Structure 1
Amino acid sequence: MLNPQWLRTFAALAERGSFTRAAEHLDLTQAAVSQHVQRLEERLGPLLIRRPRQLELTPAGRALLDYCAEVGAADQRLQQRLSEADAEQGEIGLISPGSIGLALYPHLLEVQQAHPGLRIRHRFAPDHEVLEAVLDNRFELGLVTLRPDEPRLRVSRFAEEPLELLVPAGARVSGWADLERLGFIDHPDGLAMAGRLLSRRFPGNPGVRGLPCHGFTNQIGLILEPVARGLGFTVLPRYARLAFPRQDAIQVIEGTPAVVDTLWLLHRAEWPLSARAEMILRRIGPHFSSETGRPRG
């Protein structure tokens, strides 16, 4: 590997065109500048043609000057990534389940609009993929619904999100027979979520699997569309419901007891968060409440 000081000397010499001016710029002696160039030429061959009033770069010298520029740019990128000044530029990755992701994404876009130098990369994924992605350093931040027991991760509460029983607007639900009449709109987590909520709301019921299924979709943003069209009911986390644009076409059937999930924020424990991640969390954190599961503001 070439000595970085030799490279800086050669770049200054090529820019200023003389050993004297390069030495003054670098606060070195002319002998030191000559020695650095000599060391480079021992490794790479002739780099300069020395003329009385100018220096001319050989093809090897021009190639080395391009290399000096690449090294300088790489060094600058490294310093930016490690610097607090990098909080408003560069890439930040966040991976989350679909429901909280629907609520988060508009706020992430607002941050990016305020700081155009940022590149925000967000992905929807189930808990196990979120864990793998954060542990593999493919995403700096992750959110999960089940708290992991993993020493390589720092885990903290982010928000709380209740499960909701959602039916078409105007539908009346006073008992299990009403759910049978409406029919179930399923989704990848539908049976598990409905089982958890309905077993508490309607104790002694025959079970979610016994309900007629009137549809299925794996696109979280579309699950409430058949409900809004009167085709059935479903159970979803609150943030997924709040993201649905046609709120007047659906309704929440309130009841007790509540089933509330905690959303956990994950990142690697062995090193501090980047300045970008810290800034993102400061900006989006106030929009969420760990007590009610409702976005603020």
Structure 2
Amino acid sequence: MLNPQWLRSFDAVAEAGSFTRAAEQLGLTQAAVSQHISRLEDEFGPLLLRRPRQLDLTPAGHALLACHAEILAAERRLRARLSDDDPHHGEISLITPGSVGLALYPLLLALQQAEPGLCVRHRFAPDAEVCEAVLDNRFELGLLTLKPDDPRLVARLFAEEPLELVVPANARLDGWEDLARLGMIDHPDGQAMATRLLSRYFPGNPGVRSLAVRGYVNQIGLILEPVARGLGFAILPRHARQAFARPDAVRVVEAGAPVLDSLWLIHRAEWPLSARATAALDFLQHRI
């Protein structure tokens, strides 16, 4: 482990070009500064070329100077990351399911524009990965569609997101037969979402597995592309439909009471949220 005081002395000598001026800047004796440089040279070999009235860095000296600069920069980043008392500076890390992420990420960017001292890190992921990432401290905040029962996590209701039956804009849908004729555009949560929604819209239906699957997409932002081209219907959360770039090419079918998915905000239970995370959540919940 490099002694920080030795490194500070080396930086001062390299900048001042003199042991005497470096000692004055540091409030140390010249002998102390010389000793620090000697200890470093015992470790790394010659660092300075000593000429009358001039000091030059050797290649090893340049490398050590650059290394110390990296150490100082890493320390500054660490302090910024650990400074939880400033809501205007530091990293906001959030991991979410795809649909709500499509709605939240633009809002987070708007917050960052208003508060340039913030850094937004967002990831789309399924529930299992969200839980794992928060538990491993890779993200401070996460959103889940199912409330977890892990005592290491705090979970509170963040929002409710309606599921929607989305068909091509010109499609006629008078009953289950029309739905079966269209066929389904599936996605990772498609079967589960379809089961919940279609049982409400079409009581006594033959079941989702009786429907032909016309396609499968695992990218939330692309699920409605085949629907817009008339290739089938899809069932997905409202935020995903609202983020679709061609809203005039699709239509939402309203056929009964809404089916709502609850979104649960999670974070580690052992310590409080940072001030910037608390401020960001307040910002989001007033706009989502």
Q: What TM bracket, shorter-length normalisation?
A: 0.7 to 0.9
Mapping of residues 11-26 of structure 1, within 5 Å:
11-26=11-26
Deviations 1:1-60 (A, max 9, x none): 222112212221232233332222112334433443444455455555666644455565
Three-state SS of the structure 2 residue aligned to 1:263 is: strand
Residue pairs, 1:4-153, within 5 angstroms? 4-44=4-44, 47-48=47-48, 53-57=53-57, 61-83=61-83, 92-114=92-114, 120-153=120-153
Please say if residues 92 and 140 of structure 1, whose CA atoms lie closer than 8 Å, have aligned partners that are also in contact.
yes
> 1: distance between equivalents of 2:213 and 2:59?
74
Contact 1:163/1:260 (CA < 8 Å) preserved in 2? yes
Shift of 1:283: 4.0
Change (3 A) 1:216 1:23: closer
CA distance in 1, matches of 2:211, 2:180: 6
Distance 1:148 1:43, change over 3 A: same
**Contact (CA 8 Å) 2:153, 2:268: kept in 1 or not?**
yes
Match of residue 179 from structure 2: 179
Instruction: Determine the structure 1 residue equivalent to 2:225.
Output: 225
Equivalent position of 1:235 in the other structure: 235
1:291 corresponds to which residue? none
Calculate the TM-score normalised by the size of structure 1. 0.78
Q: CA deviation at 1:181?
A: 4.3
Shift of 1:120: 4.2
1:162-173 map, 5 Å = 162-169=162-169, 171=171, 173=173
CA distance in 2, matches of 1:216, 1:52: 76
The 2-side partners of 1:50 and 1:224 are apart by 71
1:74/1:98 CA distance change after superposition, 3 Å: closer
Please give the alpha-carbon distance, in whole angstroms, between the structure 2 residues aligned to 1:146 and 1:229: 32
The structure-2 alpha-carbon separation of the partners of 1:65 and 1:181, relative to structure 1 and needing over 3 Å to count, comes to: closer
Looking at structure 2, the residues matched to 112 and 220 of structure 1 have their Cα atoms a distance apart, in angstroms, of: 24
Q: CA 1:48 to 1:238, structure 2 compared with 1: closer, same or farther past 3 Å?
A: closer
SS in 1 for 2:204: coil
- Which is worse superposed, 111-120 or 231-240? 111-120
CA distance in 1, matches of 2:141, 2:49: 54
Q: Give the 3 Å change call, closer, same or farther, for CA 215–58 of structure 1 in structure 2.
A: closer
Q: Distance in 1 between matches of 2:48 and 2:221?
A: 64
Q: CA deviation at 1:82?
A: 2.9
Q: 1:116: Cα distance to partner?
A: 6.4
* Equivalent position amino acid for 2:286 in 1: P
Residue 263 of structure 1 and its aligned partner are, at CA, apart by 0.9
- Tell me: CA distance 1:234–1:15, structure 2 relative to 1, closer, same or farther (3 Å): closer
State how far apart, in whole Å, the 2-side matches of 1:220 and 1:88 are: 31
* CA displacement at 1:134 relative to structure 2: 2.8
Name the CA distance, whole Å, in 1 between partners of 2:286 and 2:226.
33
Are the aligned partners of 2:85 and 2:274 in contact in 1 as well (CA < 8 Å)?
no
Q: What SS is found at the alignment partner of 2:166? A: strand
Residue 208 of structure 1 corresponds to: 208
Change (3 A) 1:254 1:22: same
SS of structure 2 residue aligned to 1:149? coil
Q: Counterpart of 1:104 in structure 2: which amino acid? A: L
Counterparts of 1:58 and 1:186, CA distance in 2: 64
Q: Per the alignment, in what secondary structure is the counterpart of residue 287 of structure 1? A: coil
Query: Offset at 1:238?
Result: 1.1
- Label 1:58 to 1:110 Cα distance change in 2 as closer, same or farther (>3 A): closer
Q: Is the 8 A contact 2:18 2:54 kept in 1?
A: yes
TM-superposition CA deviations, 1:88-125 (whole Å, max 9, x none): 77765433222112222333343455566766444332
SS at match of 1:205: coil
C-alpha separation between the residues in 1 aligned to 2:48 and 2:218? 65
CA contact (8 A) 1:99 1:220 kept: yes
Name the residue aligned to 2:262.
262
Paired amino acid for 1:244:
F
Aligned to 1:253: 253
Give CA deviations for 1:222-262 in whole Å, capped at 9, x if unaligned.
Answer: 33234334444332211112112333333333243332111
Q: 3-state DSSP class of the match of 2:286?
A: helix
Alpha-carbon distance change, 31 to 143 in structure 1, aligned in 2, over 3 angstroms: same
RMSD over aligned CA atoms reads 3.4
Q: Indicate if the aligned counterparts of 1:80 and 1:86 stay in contact, CA closer than 8 A.
A: no
Ranges in structure 2 where 5+ consecutive residues have no aligned partner: none
